[in-house]
Chain A
Amino acid sequence: MSKFFLLVRTNVLVLLGTMRKNRTPGRYILSGIFLAFAFIAVTLSFGGQSFVQQMLLRKSGVPELGITVALVTALSLSILIGLMRAATMPRSNDADLLLSMPISRTTVIASKIVTQYLFDAPFIIMIFGSSVIAYRVFGGDLSALLRGLMLTLLLPLIPVTLSYFLGSAIAALSERFRGAKLVATGFLMLLLVGYMFINFSSSAMYQKFEAISREEGLALIHAIAPLGWMTEFVTTGNLLSVALTLALLLIPFYLALQVYAVFFGRQGGAYRSKDKKVIFGVKSPRMALFDKEVKRYLSMPLYIFNTAFGPVLLVVFAGFITVLGPDKVFESMGMTSTEMNIIPEWVIPVLVSVVLAFICSMTSTTAASISLEGKNFWILRVSPVTTGDIFFGKCLLNVVLIVPIGILSVIAIGLRIGQGFPEIFFHSIALAVLGVMLSCVGLIANLLFPKLKWESEAQVVKQGMSVVINMLFALILTGLPFPLMAILLPSAGIAYFYAAQAAIYGLFLGASLLFLKTAGKKMFEALS
């Protein structure tokens, strides 16, 4: 076996090994089956969608639009993967080991790239590949199929390119400036919000299949030039589109590789201050623990990426409603003015409450915060602080992230939709209690599924069982009060609904606190 394939195989085995670590064979197999099911389900879903789409578009006379639509989805996913991955690039734990071995640097780097490609590719290939096959099945020629498959294999280069470029830029800045990582994370978040906005607008634009004319379809295909080139690459294969598509995908990829090659093996995060003046500040133990949580949070782009969506979306949602008004929201959901007039009065406040509560449930720093202690866990264990103090610091970070912005959103939206003091007051209380409750629930999830031994924070923040379980429970607990509206709202006012919502969240909070004080404390103290 050549050294290149040996390295790729080892990289894959290392990844599978980290997934297997600390899992019983039964759980490992179960996870594999679950993953396979998820993959098959998504394949069938996208495949079925592509075939139905292609049938409809053939009838409208613009089958090419099917390729464009699939491209939009595949590109969206590629950009998302690339941005998320950039947050943790280009650190490579085994760089020193590999570079000290009798293997060329090119081989080492190529093996890393191919490994990343292998992990990023399946979903992208599945989304776009199914559309290419559907295009062929319903009448596309064989050469279109071959070009389509070629583009299918090229598309996963996009997340590799993006993550290497942005990741290397973050690493370079982090070596020179303190706080560069935080600025870069903010920049990535902005990119992500921009991406979400564009994705939202474009997906609405590319979903008008029924009764579309050929002219309208072609205009849509060419509305964004690179999408037009790539679509033509598959459908016609004209020389210009082939040249432009290949240039668009391969030149940035080549440049990103050059940048990555420069950074590979360099010790990241080596910024050193020349400032010799030291500041001694005094805090209470609880505030010191909270401060430590904040500093750790701000130093981990991936942690921010996975937990800051809630506050960002709260601002976006509140801004959207406050500036444009709730009618615009319904309009964007495809509702006509006649339909809007027959909606009962209580629907908007309840919908606002549902959206705000579910956005809050997306933020949980606590679900990974104990696991993230990892090799630093000994510090907490030998410090003269109580388990309650440690829990307090961890929960407070989550509360600070979500509750103030949540309350401001409630006030802004409440004033915009003409709510009075009782409604705004009880809604604020409900959201505040929800924020605290969700923080405690996240902590409980992490106590139930702790993972102190990890190599990369992604294993905890993104793939940790506690994070997945917490997402599910947070959604269920957040949603539970809403069936109340069916009972309360026809007779009582919206303020009563908010008060009842706060009371239910309060009950959950009480139960969570009780758990943390008793079983949770014991579970934490048994960790080592």
Chain B
Amino acid sequence: MLHIENFTKIYPGGTKAVDNLTLHVEAGDLYGFIGHNGAGKTTTIRSAVGILPFEHGEITIDGHSIKKEPVACKKLLAYLPDDPQLYEALTGIQYINFIADLYSVSKDDRKRRTQKYAEMFEIEGNLNSPISSYSHGMKQKIALITAFVHEPRLLVLDEPFIGLDPKASFTMKSIMKEFCAEGNAIFFSTHILEVAEKLCTKIAIIKNGSLIASGDTDTVRGTQTLENLFLELTDDE
């Protein structure tokens, strides 16, 4: 589904944020991406969804290159940043309609999906209010609805649980599991190791721009807890 091959990202000024990273997310995978602050998680994610240009390596989604066929790739994915900044001038429903229009979602489909997810996230009463009046969590919920409104095959999420209340967090986890069980895939970064340990079928650990471990969660973790493994692998001493 998402294939990242020998991906290297060098920022202007020469800082190498990610170095020769190779990672494969397949259909059905719920793939957690773990690393300390500044390890290169967000850079990888932003490059994978077509926000950041990159020079070395290749990223493909369902066989389409994000460099050469960005529109084809973007039709298959949905991305949610850690701090979803939305168009504050629009109301929640206007924003959902806007995104649905960009993905050419039919009226019936957008209506059905919006109602389903708005109800799940308990935000159906706020859809006519401007986004400028929303709390961080409400913006996160609207962004999540728009992520699902066009039924993507791949969901790329950067710290998706930040700002969500406990109930929304629980709902989110259920949705994520259900989504992957239907043959789709999720690639997400997180700092919450307990969530990654319980939720993910696969994990990857990145340190200073290089991948230091990846694979099935149980295999990577072995007999340790994910927290212990992470501390052991990322400890500079």
* B102 and A288 form a contact (CB under 8 A): yes
Residues of chain A contacted by B46 (CB below 8 angstroms): 378, 528
Q: Please count how many residues in chain A sit with their CB below 8 Å of the partner chain's CB atoms.
A: 41
Task: Return A238 CB to nearest CB of chain B, in Å.
Answer: 52
Q: Which A residues are CB-close (under 8 A) to B52? A: 528
A271 and B133 within 8 A (CB): yes
B106 touches A282 (CB 8 A): yes
Instruction: Give the shortest distance, in Å, between B179 (CB) and chain A (any CB).
Output: 18
User: What 0/1 readout, one digit per residue, does chain A (275-296) give for beta carbons within 8 Å of chain B?
Assistant: 1111111111101110110011
Residue contact B97 to A280, C-beta cutoff 8 Å: yes
Complex: how many Å from CA A255 to CA B50? 52
Q: Residues of A contacting B74 with CB < 8 Å?
A: 382-384
Q: Are A269 and B128 in contact (CB under 8 A)?
A: no
**Which single residue of chain A is at the shortest CB-CB distance from B90?**
A295
B110 touches A280 (CB 8 A): yes
B99 touches A526 (CB 8 A): no
Q: Which of B3-62 contact A (CB under 8 A)?
A: 46, 49-53
Binary contact readout A27-60 vs B (1 if CB under 8 angstroms, 0 otherwise): 0000000000000000000000000000000000
Whether A379 lies near B101 (C-beta < 8 A) is no
Residues of the B chain whose Cβ atoms lie less than 8 Å from the Cβ of A298: 89
Q: Are B128 and A282 in contact (CB under 8 A)?
A: no
Q: Mark B103-118, 1 if CB is under 8 A from A, else 0.
A: 1101100110010000
Q: Shortest Cβ distance from B227 into chain A, in angstroms?
A: 31
Min CB gap B3→A, angstroms: 18
Q: Is B87 an interface residue (CB 8 A)?
A: yes
Beta-carbon contact of B91 and A378 below 8 Å:
no
A261-313 residues with Cβ-Cβ distance < 8 A to B are 269-273, 275-285, 287-289, 291-292, 295-296, 298-300
- Asked if A385 contacts B114 (CB within 8 A), the reply is no
Partner of A278, one of B51, B100, B114: B114
- Give B119 Cβ to nearest chain A Cβ, in Å: 12
Which residues does chain B contribute within 8 Å of A279, judged by CB atoms? 93
For residue A3, CB closer than 8 A to chain B, the reply is no
Complex interface: chain B residues within 8 A of A287 (CB): 101
- Give a binary string over B71-111; 1 marks a CB under 8 Å from any A CB, 0 the rest: 11011011101000111111101100111111110110011
User: Any chain B CB within 8 A of the CB of A207?
Assistant: no
Tell me, in angstroms, the Cα distance from A279 to B99 when the chains sit together: 14
- Residues of A close to B103: CB separation below 8 A: 383-384
CB under 8 Å from chain B, chain A span 309-341:
none
Closest B residue to A270 by CB, please name it: B133
B128 engages A383 (CB within 8 Å): no
In the assembled complex, B228 has its CB within 8 A of some CB on chain A: no
Chain B residue contacts of A176, Cβ below 8 A: none
Q: Which residues of B contact A292 (CB under 8 A)?
A: 87, 90, 98
B residues near A (Cβ < 8 Å) are 46, 49-53, 71-72, 74-75, 77-79, 81, 85-91, 93-94, 97-104, 106-107, 110-111, 114, 124-130, 132-133
Interface residues of A (CB under 8 A from B): 178, 269-273, 275-285, 287-289, 291-292, 295-296, 298-300, 374-376, 378-379, 381-386, 525-526, 528
Taking A284-B101, A298-B89 as known contacts, 17 extra A-B pairs with beta carbons closer than 8 A to each other, sorted by chain A number, are A276-B124, A277-B128, A278-B124, A280-B93, A281-B107, A283-B97, A288-B98, A291-B98, A292-B87, A376-B85, A381-B50, A382-B49, A383-B102, A384-B71, A386-B71, A526-B53, A528-B51
